Structure 1
Amino acid sequence: MKKIYYLESCDTCKRIIKEIDLPQAFIKQNIKTEGITEEELEELYNLAGSYEALFSRRAQRYREQNLKDKELLDEDYKNLILEHYTFLKRPVIVNNDEIFIGNSKKTVAAAKAAIHSNT
């Protein structure tokens, strides 16, 4: 599967999509208009190894709900991501059996290299 989970209104996501120059074969899923399903989240979990790796601590709701003061289990991260799209760290890029999570320069460079290595 070749897919990117992103937020269309996010300038960082737009910049990364442009920088990586995603091939047409990639499915783009705007998580605000097309929420992530439990099945999709399970697929991401299987690639990432944990729900915590997919979880964004930068979400406003993270602060609003005082989640930093709580001890969260992997199941809690899963439920929060399913509850609201902003809890998914963005973008999440799936390139067959590889996953790239977030917007760090290192992650974006690795995703770009992996995507364009076979073209």
Structure 2
Amino acid sequence: MNKVYYLKTCSTCVRILKTLNLPSDFILQDIKTEEITVKQLDEMKALAGSYEALFSKRAKLYKEMGLKDMNLSEKDYKQYILEHYTFLSRPVILANNQIFIGNSAKTVEAAKKAIHE
């Protein structure tokens, strides 16, 4: 399945979506209005290798909740991502059985290449 998990209120996500020039078979899921399910998160983890790889340590709540001072387990990362969308590193792009996490130029370029192969 080709899918993008993103926030439509995030200007970075919107900019990235424009540069990707997605084919019509892509499904877009705004994670603020349509929460991530356990099944979806498990599918992402299977491709990413860990929940930590999907977790955003740049989220405001990460510092506000004191999580940066805690030793979090995989179970904790999963729980926090499911509890609040802000903990998912965005965007997450699933394309041709590959996963691309985050908004670095290198990641976006790799995703673009995978999408248009």
* TM-score normalised over the length of structure 1: 0.97
Q: What is the aligned length?
A: 117
Query: Any stretches of 5+ residues in structure 1 without a counterpart?
Result: none
**Corresponding residue for residue 34 of structure 2:** 34
* Superposition pairs of residues 11-22 of structure 1, within 5 angstroms: 11-22=11-22
- 1:113 deviation in Å? 0.6
**Corresponding residue for residue 47 of structure 2:** 47
- 1:105 deviation in Å? 0.4
Contact 2:96 2:114 survives alignment (8 Å): no
Identity %: 62
- 1:23 deviation in Å? 1.0
- 1:96 deviation in Å? 2.6
CA distance in 2, matches of 1:21, 1:96: 15
CA distance in 2, matches of 1:96, 1:83: 28
* Superposition pairs of residues 85-96 of structure 1, within 5 angstroms: 85-96=85-96
* TM-score normalised over the length of structure 2: 0.99
* RMSD value, Cα: 0.5
